Amino acid sequence: MSSTPHPVTRIRTANGMSQRVLALAGLVQALAQVRRIADTGQANAAVLATALDSVFRIDAPTPADVYGGTSAVRPGLMLMRDYFTNQARDEQLPRLALAVIQLERRFVRDDGLIARVQDGIRTQEPLVERLGSTHPDVLSALGALYSETLSHLRPRVLVQGNPHYLAQATVVAEVRAVLLAAIRSAVLWRQLGGSLWDFLLRRREMLAAVQTHLD
């Protein structure tokens, strides 16, 4: 990975599965919102704010602080618990998460793309300070940033949903903005030691860590 400060996070690396599942929870709940927006044209306001705020918390000292506290990713932790206990309701969500994790691998290998995303995020910081991360102007800008950068990587992240809503520019921009937040969480997960091998070899440990946060 480039020595350039990463555009998505400069967090000091913390060890342990407990930290990694928080990043995964942030990833999963962001993608659940992507699915919701694509299907209904609307997002859960609190979950949307958690996702988009995380994009701009590049100096957060811990994974929990990236999301504004562990409680802010409780929806994602519950989705993970359902997945690990074979109670998941959305079959598309794991596939979408895998696609984002694969996209993150390609993203972090491209120094030029990292710099472009970093600059794009920094450009929006004054607007976020004035209007908040979920303001339509911010969503539009982050959506455009994703479209101009990450959307050109392969494999592309394909989002299915209601054609009526996916034909609307504002909905598409919001979907792309939240996908950018999902990539941010994927990067954090990797930086904390996350690997796809965890899903094969450490499922019980992951579930135990998720359950500890939920208890």
Mean local confidence (pLDDT), 92-103: 95
The answer to whether position 75 is within a domain reads: yes
The answer to whether position 29 is within a domain reads: yes
pLDDT band, very low/low/confident/very high, at 59 (cuts 50, 70, 90): confident
The answer to whether position 4 is within a domain reads: no
Has residue 3 got a pLDDT over 70?
no
Backbone angles phi, psi at 151, to 5 degrees: -65, -15
* CATH number of the CATH domain containing 196: 1.10.3890.10
Alpha carbon distance 104, 15 (integer Å): 20
Report the number of distinct structural domains present in the chain: 1
The answer to whether position 12 is within a domain reads: no
The answer to whether position 3 is within a domain reads: no
Sign of torsion over alpha carbons 101, 82, 44, 46: negative
Give pLDDT tens digits for 173-186.
999 999 999 999 99
Model confidence, pTM: 0.92
The answer to whether position 5 is within a domain reads: no
Alpha carbon distance 9, 211 (integer Å): 26
The answer to whether position 1 is within a domain reads: no
The answer to whether position 167 is within a domain reads: yes
Give pLDDT tens digits for 124-151.
999 999 999 999 999 999 999 999 999 9
Full domain range(s) for residue 26: 17-214
